[in-house]
């Protein structure tokens, strides 16, 4: 990648990097995720001040602070309602949301379907390490059955949530998966998700080197990685995407699982249209005020 900005690429990855030094554990997968985000944003070329990056709480949710975008490290599980409010208030902003699997599919799980069905133009990046990292290694909703952790000394008895099936099941129009095990592939997926005109979900299997199991580290992920391009997957085939999503936890399918070739209008565009329609026959502001204020 060129080190000089050009008219075609007005910002470089370093322009999205803040002065804050990440405090993740050395080797944490989230270091690669933030690098991929810098590169994807540079390829897209929107100015940092035109971008808002919203997260919940967790190790992964620190990510907005490491960028020069407007950022809001909100409340555990609440990145999506806040991101939607921001997008509605200023639809011109490029809005990204990010967090962990606990943040997104445990406490925040109830918010995901509503963003999916509204189809707002927000990219949601989940750093799925299959554990609660920040709070020191408790089971998360995506922890595999049998997982031993500080809260499951004899092994988890629960089936994991499958994030890919979860969002596909609610009708998401863009669903992709990547991992720091393939930095270039992960960067391409994030860029494509941001460019998608509507809600885009990206599940990143990002290793937790401190509390994650051996098989969830880079070497283990590489061993089960199967790029979707290598099996000739057609990303416009929703049913096939659902079928592939079943292998979550057994194989690491990387790439775009599903991209709706005819994406529906976004919620914010329909709100704008409704506002324009209703404002046509609306009473002038002055006249409305007259109804309430005695002048």
Binding site for ligand TPP (CB under 6 A): 57-60, 76, 99-103, 107, 127, 129, 131-135, 140
Residue 28 binds which of ligand TPP, ligand SF4, none (CB < 5-8 A, kind-dependent):
ligand SF4
Residue 22 φ then ψ, to 5°: -60, 140
* Closer residue to ligand SF4, CB minimum distance, 60 or 187: 60
- Whichever of 134 and 244 has its CB closer to ligand TPP, that residue is 134
Q: What whole-number distance in Å separates Cα of residue 158 and Cα of residue 153?
A: 13
The distance of closest approach from Cβ of residue 54 to ligand TPP in the complex, given in angstroms and rounded to an integer, is: 14
**Please, which residue, 48 or 137, has the CB nearer to ligand SF4?**
137
| φ, ψ of residue 210 in degrees (nearest 5) | -90, -45
Distance of CA 191 to the CA centre of its chain: 11
Q: Which is nearer to ligand TPP, 9 or 209 (CB)?
A: 209
Cβ distance to ligand TPP smaller for residue 48 or 65: 65
- Residue 76 contact among ligand TPP, ligand SF4, none, beta carbon within 5 to 8 Å by kind: ligand TPP
Of 191, 166, 143, 164, which Cα lies nearest the Cα of 258?
Answer: 164
Residue pair 174/198 in contact by the 8 Å Cβ criterion: yes
Query: Which of ligand TPP, ligand SF4, none binds 25 (CB below 5-8 Å, type-dependent)?
Result: ligand SF4
Residue 115 DSSP class? H
Q: Which does 111 bind (CB under 5 to 8 A by kind): ligand TPP, ligand SF4, none?
A: none
Q: Which residue ranges make up the site for ligand SF4 (CB under 6 A)?
A: 24-25, 28, 30, 59, 129, 133-134, 208-211
SS3 state of residue 65: helix
**141-144 own/partner pairs: CB under 8 Å, 24+ apart:** 141/101, 141/102, 141/105, 141/106, 141/109, 142/101, 142/105, 144/249
Distance CA 9, CA 26 (A): 31
Give the C-alpha separation, 127 to 274, whole Å.
36
209 binds, among ligand SF4, ligand TPP, none (CB under 5 to 8 A by kind): ligand SF4
Judged by beta carbon distances under 5 to 8 A according to partner kind, the member of ligand TPP, ligand SF4, none in contact with residue 118 is none
Least separation, in Å, of the C-beta of 100 and ligand SF4? 8
Q: Of 215 and 229, which has the nearer Cβ to ligand TPP? A: 215
């Amino acid at each position: 990648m060129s080190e000089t900005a050009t008219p075609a690429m007005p910002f470089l990855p370093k322009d999205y990097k803040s002065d804050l030094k990440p405090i993740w554990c050395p080797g944490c997968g989230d270091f690669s995720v933030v690098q991929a985000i810098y590169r994807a944003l540079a390829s897209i070329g929107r100015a940092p001040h035109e971008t808002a990056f919203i997260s919940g709480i967790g190790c992964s949710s620190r990510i907005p602070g490491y960028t020069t975008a407007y950022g809001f490290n909100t409340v555990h599980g609440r990145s999506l309602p806040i991101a939607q409010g921001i997008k509605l208030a200023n639809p011109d902003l490029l809005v990204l949301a990010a967090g962990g699997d606990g943040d997104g599919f445990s406490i925040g799980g109830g918010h995901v379907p509503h963003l999916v069905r509204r189809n707002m133009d927000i990219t949601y990046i989940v750093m799925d390490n299959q554990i609660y990292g920040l709070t020191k290694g408790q089971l998360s909703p995506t922890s595999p059955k049998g997982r031993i952790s500080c809260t499951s000394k004899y092994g988890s008895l629960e089936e994991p949530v499958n994030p890919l099936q979860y969002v596909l099941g609610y009708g998401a129009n863009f669903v992709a998966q990547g991992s720091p095990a393939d930095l270039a592939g992960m960067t391409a997926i994030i860029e494509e998700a941001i460019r998608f005109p509507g809600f885009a979900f990206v599940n990143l299997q990002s290793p937790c080197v401190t509390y994650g199991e051996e098989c969830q580290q880079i070497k283990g992920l590489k061993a089960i990685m199967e790029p979707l391009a290598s099996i000739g997957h057609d990303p416009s085939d929703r049913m096939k995407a659902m079928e592939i999503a079943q292998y979550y936890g057994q194989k690491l399918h990387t790439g775009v699982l599903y991209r709706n070739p005819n994406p529906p209008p976004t919620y914010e565009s329909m709100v704008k249209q409704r506002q324009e329609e209703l404002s046509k026959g609306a009473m002038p502001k002055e006249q409305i005020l007259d109804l309430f204020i005695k002048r």
